[in-house]
Each structure stands twice: as structure tokens, then as C-alpha cells.
Amino acid sequence: MPLSYEWQRRLDRLKSLAGFSSGSQHGPRPQICPACGALVGISATKCHECGTDLRFSLAALGKKFSGLFGDQEAPVTSALLVANILMFGVSWMAMAAAGGGGGLSILWGLSGIGQLRLGMSIPFPYLIGTHEWWRVVTAMFLHGGLIHIGFNMMALMQFGPAIEELYGSARYLFIYVVTGAFGFLLSSFFGNYSLGASGAILGLVGVMLAITTKRGGSYMRELRSRLVSSVVILFVLGFTHLMAMDNWAHGGGLAAGFLFGKMFADRQPMNVSERKTAYALGLFAGLIVIASFVLMILHYRDPL
């Protein structure tokens, strides 16, 4: 039974890794554009359909990235999940190194010096005084315990894949990072120490609310009603102080997400110009995250 084209490509890749020439038996094969999926020539350097550079492009990197995490539809959501879990492990080790982290503290007690050094958000006067603006980004990858990260990651996996598939991975990453950072910036302005992914997740909820206002039908009305009810309950819990919730971070993320939902067309980029804009936004967000973690590492030992 002959192999499919995709499986033959995988076999050729394995042969090349093992030191065999993939073209010795089958010859050079056409390429598939990572952006639009069109079949292009063997020696082509640009896709004739969408103009994507086949030698190097964000679309090609995204394709490899998605394969790394095994999710072709929502690679950024998968990467965010992994990053949050890794940082939770780092937080626990930092607390253990400081003599804490024992008993049930892992459930909802990962706080203190370790989280400050790892980049939790701090009140605005300290942000201005220390110029540690990277904290509004790193804080969204930190959590206060297993219960905290558990609820947030369940929400991320509930909303993230659908929004990533709708907008595309690049714009989705931009929305996630910017809404989360804006939420922490607002929280900082009102004098809070804060951490968690919920500001960015409320940004995704804000996007979905905006989408339901642009689309008609009973399903959209029902979805909007459920989202509004969930948001109201969340903010009520925050105001009652029954749980350690940061309503300012939640509100900032929600408002920013709603704004992006109104600004962006709720579909994948359709032409070369839209793709370039989307990739530029995604690259900007990715570089901001990387730079923030680099700065966190460089300042980890600074006096607090």
C-alpha cells in the first residue's frame, strides 16, 4: 500500500537524520507553503499563492513550533500551558530553597520572596522606581498554588484553542500577552502585588464577548449571557474577598480583550498584507515575553 505524501515526507526526514539521502530513491519533492498550504515548486523561494518566504518566515517557524507540542490547531495555547506549568515548578523550587514550600502550602501558599524575584507584579511606585516593567509580563506566568494554576489552566484550555483557531496563532499570542500585561499594569497602578494568568484569560473572555456582539443568532446570545454571568460571579467573589482575586487585573484584561475583539476581524488573516501584520504582532509579543524573562533572570539577585 503506497504511503501518503505527508508520511513519505516524514520518512524522508528520518532518513536524512540517519545520514541517508532522501532524494536518492524518490528525487526532490515539491514543497508545501506553511502559511496557506499551497503546493509550490521544488526550487521555489516564495509561495505563488500568498507570497510567504519559504526559506525563512514566521509561518514556517510556527509550523515547526506546533509540531513540537503536537497540536497543529492551537500550538500557542499548548506552549502557554507548558510555560505556566514550568514556571510553577520553578516557583516551588525557589520557595523550597528559601526553606518553605512544605505541607499543604503548595495548594495555595506559593508566595513571598521567591515570587518577587521571579517577577510578580508590584505596586506602581515601585515599578517607576525600579524600572522593572517586565514584571507585568512575567507575572502572568506565575501562580500562588496548585488550586490557582489548576483553575487558570482549565480556563485557558477552555477558551484558548477556539480563539487561536479563529484569529490565528500570531494574533492570538499578541492578544494574550497585551491583555495580560495591561491587566497587571492597571492592578499595579492601584497598588497591588499580583500574579496569575487570569488577567490574560479574562482578556480572552473579553474577545469572546466582543465576538458575540458582532454576530447574531440565538447561540451567540446564549453564549454572551453565560459569559456575562460568569464574569459577574467572578467579580463579586473578588469584591467579597472570599478568595484572593485581583479585580483590577481581571477588569483590565477583560476591557483590553473586548477592545481587541472589536478591532480585529474575527477570522484568520486572508491576504499577504493581513498575514504580515499578524506575524509582526505575534513576533512583537513573543519578543516581549522573551525579553521580560531575560530581564527577570538578570535581576533575580538584585536587592529587594
- Alpha-carbon Rg for the chain, nearest whole angstrom, is 22
Contact at 8 Å (CB) between 254 and 201?
Answer: no
User: What are the residues whose beta carbons fall under 8 Å from the beta carbon of 252, sequence distance 6 or more?
Assistant: 179, 182, 183, 184, 185, 186, 187, 199
Q: 176 — phi, psi (to 5°)? A: -60, -50
Annotated catalytic residue within 148, 194, 250, 292 = 250
Residue 111 annotated among the catalytic residues of the structure: no
- Distance, CA of 203 to CA of 48 (rounded, Å): 36
- Of 223, 212, 211, 222, give the one whose Cα is nearest residue 266: 211
Which CB contacts under 8 angstroms, 24+ apart, belong to 146-153? 146/88, 146/106, 146/107, 146/108, 147/107, 147/108, 148/108, 148/196, 149/84, 149/85, 149/88, 149/197, 152/84, 152/196, 152/197, 152/198, 152/201, 153/81, 153/84, 153/85, 153/197
Alpha-carbon gap, residue 300 to 32, rounded angstroms = 44
Distances (CA, A) of 227 to 19, 34, 186, 233, 254: 54, 35, 22, 10, 11
Active site annotation includes 131? no
The residue from 198, 225, 229, 241 that is catalytic is: 198
Candidates 83, 259, 280, 298; CA nearest to 179 is 259
State the catalytic residues: 198, 250
